[in-house]
Structure 1
Amino acid sequence: MKHIDLNPADYKILVVDDIATNVMLLKAVLGRAKYRIVTATGGHEALEQVEREKPDLVLLDIMMPDMDGYEVMRRLRADPRWEDLPVIFLTALNNTEDIVKGFKLGANDYVSKPFNHEELITRVAHHIFIAASKRTILEQSEQLQRTMRNRDRMYSVIAHDLRSPIGTLKMVFNMLTLNITEQMAGAENIEMLKMGNDITENTFMLLDNLLKWTKSQTGRMNTVFQEVDLAEVVLFAGKIADLVASAKGITVEYELPASAKVRCDVDMIKTIVRNLLSNAIKFSHEGGRVIVSMSETATHVLVSVRDFGKGIRQEDQSKVLDPDVHFTDYGTRNEEGSGLGLQLCSDLTRRNGGELTFVSKEGEGSTFTFSVAKSQAADQPSDRPVS
């Protein structure tokens, strides 16, 4: 919270007492401290002054003939507008029960009559500071909410105005890469075409990861469970990486069972598989291979993506899945990464009742494994088809 530099002249205090000499004395003491003062000589007038003047603090006498301070307190706290208004009781009562009654009604503090001037100023300054702090927190909260709304609008623009055209561009490059041969365009143009295809694939995945990560971190991502064949989902998601793999001459092999029934969020699983395959391809050497396999425990189905590439240095392995560390590395063809993909995979895996783990050895490759619970409770089951 930013530093609060209080200027007493910015704060208004309502003094309520039915004895004129007490009011004059309080005005003199508080006036010397530079506070602005308004007064009332009874309970009804005090409530009217609160409505009219909207003070920052009330010094309220308890014993008054028309309406005592307790009743004034009750009415103030019954009104949502004044439920946080600081109130300090002025009391000549020495009975502990009367003081406790004031606190139970919502008083913030009390000062006994006859009061010590320094004590009065100190208590007033303390509660003014608390009120100012609350006001500052409220202002900062409102500013934060505005910032978050602006951020959400920005992400909406990204989602609708960037994701769609980049997705279209990705499909165009995919088709050109599949249909144009070196004999048709020449080796140099084919290399440029592959480079363009890699860039659009990576950009689309980064954008997709960014949007999903933002939804996850802002609580706007829903996990929709359904009964599916995990082997089918993994195979379908993996095929999207085939073009990127072929550009580096990498073979993706699948060692999957005929069927593996789980209850999961299909879109999340596909995102996990795409990211793990993308990383495996990025860190594999030209002409290498990647193996996607599945196994089972009593409670989970495990999906592993193994590459035989550069691996991860021992000193970096603790950073890879640490949410507090932004870790990224270059691929075997100097492909850049955002460091976001694995963090997203870890989060999505937890949402599906599993865990993301890995083993790696520098120079020999890495194996990333995520698990999916065989039995998953869903709040809102969905019949959305696998696609």
Structure 2
Amino acid sequence: MEQTASASGPPSGGQPPSTRQVLIADDDAASRKIAAALLAASDYRIRFATSGEETLAAVGEERPDLVLLDVMMPGLDGFEVCRRLRERLSGEYIPIILVTSLDGRSDVVQGLKAGADDFLHKPVHGAELRARVSNLLKVRAYHQLLAAQRDSALATVELLRQQVLHADRLATLGTLAAGVSHELNNIAQVLRSALDTSSADDDGWAIAANTTSRTVLTHVANHVTELSRTLLHIARPAGGSTPEIALGQTLEEVHNMLRITGRIRHAEVSLVLPQERCVIRASPVQAQQVFLNLIGNAADAVVSSSSPRIEAGIRPQPGGRLEAWVQDNGPGMSEGVLARIFEPFFTTKPPGLGTGLGLPVVKQLVESWGGHIHVQSRPGQGTRVVLDLPAVQAASP
């Protein structure tokens, strides 16, 4: 079985050498002892393996920093062990030095093709062994530094991405707040009209003569509750594992949110919903965020149209895909504007009415689901935004 040895000596390789681990794999006990003795002065932590199978098991149990691998071993030879290690280690870099008495050029080429970093011939010269091990350990330390920097950069990018998503949610809340204010004003008028049962407000809140104060108060309470739930639903951050959601239901929820808050009061909005459930894997809040942005943009686009219309729909497509779209009959966009719509902070809306984050966030979210977004628009012909999304396939009965 595997053994461990250690010795003292000067530091090398970027980390304290005693933390650097070298796995010596050789079926010959004398060769293992010689290699360990030659490396003793460098203070590496030494482990041993006596066969190809034991080498693979040792690397699986604890990652070494370098493998000194004999080619001629019973069972799995060094070439095959090297190939398997490269497959298992995948993106992680661990140097492998093949040690052998073979001296043919074809053997060297075979070892390099198997993934070896270097080749040493027996009998091994001590200074050469130490130099090659030291150099390759420095290369591994550099790879580890790059990996740590990459992980740190990815963590920073993810943090910034979450901040952008949060900023867009807050912007959406701010836009909806104006609608909520309008609705609350309507509710106040309803309460006042309860004192005059013959009145009706501008939005059709008629109070019949036989309506009791209790009925009015119940209706108002329900409406206020629905408004508050709508805002909380948008503000709630995503969390936990990514669930499966019915996209048609999400679209209906968003339509109700925008209707309740008065965001689409001025437009005729039609939904095209499929008979079957169209399911994707996504955060419900983020899916709502996508449709809120798209329909909200459409609502802004048609505000000056004589007969403002918005259509939003979902339908299944061949190949396990779904198509979702939002279309308006607004003024459309020029080629210059269309080319910039996914640039962060670019907006054609007046100051204070748009952050320029909506479409970049939508694109980011759709692509994180494995989908694509396409925008078709021409001046005077409106705009159509199409999402191509992967559907979650129904489980076989």
TM-score after normalising by structure 1: 0.49
